[in-house]
Amino acid sequence: MSTIDVLWLAHLNRNVDDAGSDSTINLTINVDGEDVLDKDFGSNVGDGEAYLNGGAQLDAPFDSAALTNASVRIGIRGDDAWSPGDVLLFGHSLAEFNSHVAVPLAMESGLTEFLSTDPSEGPLTVPLRRIDPGTSSTVIRRVLLLVHTQWSGGGLFPGGDTGTDSAIQLEVFAGENLVLREEIDDTSQSDLERGTSNWYVMDTLVPFTRGEVQAGGRIVLSILGGDAWKPMVLFVFGLDTASGRPNQLVSLASRPVWGPRWMSSDTGEGDPSVDLEITPG
């Protein structure tokens, strides 16, 4: 059981014509007939692009254990039809906000329908089924990296060039074994641009567990060039399936507040690599 009082919504639009939408997205969470959340998100991202938003404290915290497969629905408030391919809802308890624990709540992948208020275009809402948060011994076969790049550099660089054209790399070590190394560069998304979100799924070299990473392993995020980058929030999850919708989604690292540091291979501008704190438990 986790008391959820901070919520995050992430989605990746299908990379097909008109999948993006500027209509407002509506999320409802129902527990035993009562809507514990009815919230709008101004997503407004294009075809094949990702969205990540949240972090605000909820008016009414709820117990994640009370959710069922029928509890969560996502809908649209306009007739600019929207076609998400993957959607993830996760949260934190405020008490654990800084302890790098993100609690996966509901997820769908491989969606194909368009949502719209126009009945001729598609359903008004679709369900998001509950996802199991797994354990430290869940076998992880894929990794999901969610990241949002700062809009403003702040400090000496207000409004600065927070996005980067440099590639980044995620590495996961289980004990001393390298189990994932993925370079992210020039994907179909607007990669790591200022004020944008990205959703990257990568295959592991070999399956691993969070427990193995906790036992002397590391999760390392690196930047491979000198174009400095400033993330805003970053989450890493492990998926238990090699393809399709996962049954379990394991939190590996969670940085709901990235902090003041930039990343760059030019050490005068930022850190070339960062060890991400591994989710405990």
Smallest distance from another protein to CB 86, Å: 16
d(CA 237, CA 250) in angstroms, rounded, equals 5
Return the residues of window 21-60 that contact another protein according to CB under 8 A: 24, 26, 28, 30-35, 38, 40
Stretch that binds another protein, among 63-71, 141-149, 207-215, 265-273 (CB under 8 A): 63-71
Q: Exposed, middle or buried, 11 (CB in 10 Å: 0-12/13-18/19+)?
A: buried
CB of 157 to another protein, least distance (A): 35
Q: Which helix (H) or strand (E) holds 220?
A: strand 218-223
Neighbours of 196 (CB within 10 A): 19
Give 40 or 203: the residue with its C-beta nearer to another protein.
40
Query: Scanning residues 94 to 153, which ones bind another protein (CB under 8 A)?
Result: 117-119, 123-127, 129-130
Q: Residue 71 burial (CB < 10 Å; 0-12/13-18/19+)? A: buried
Q: Which of 75, 91, 104, 246 binds another protein (CB under 8 A)?
A: 75
Query: Is 31 or 167 the residue whose CB approaches another protein more closely?
Result: 31
Provide the minimum distance between the beta carbon of 112 and another protein in the complex, in angstroms, as a whole number. Answer: 14
The CA-to-CA distance between both ends of the chain, in Å, stands at 13
Q: How far apart are CA 250 and CA 19, in angstroms?
A: 28
- The secondary structure of residue 226, as a DSSP letter, is S
Figure out which of the listed residues 3, 15, 77, 266 binds another protein, where binding follows CB under 8 A: 77
* Cα 15 from Cα 49, distance rounded (Å): 8
Binding interface with another protein (CB under 8 A): 24, 26, 28, 30-35, 38, 40, 68-71, 73, 75, 77-78, 117-119, 123-127, 129-130
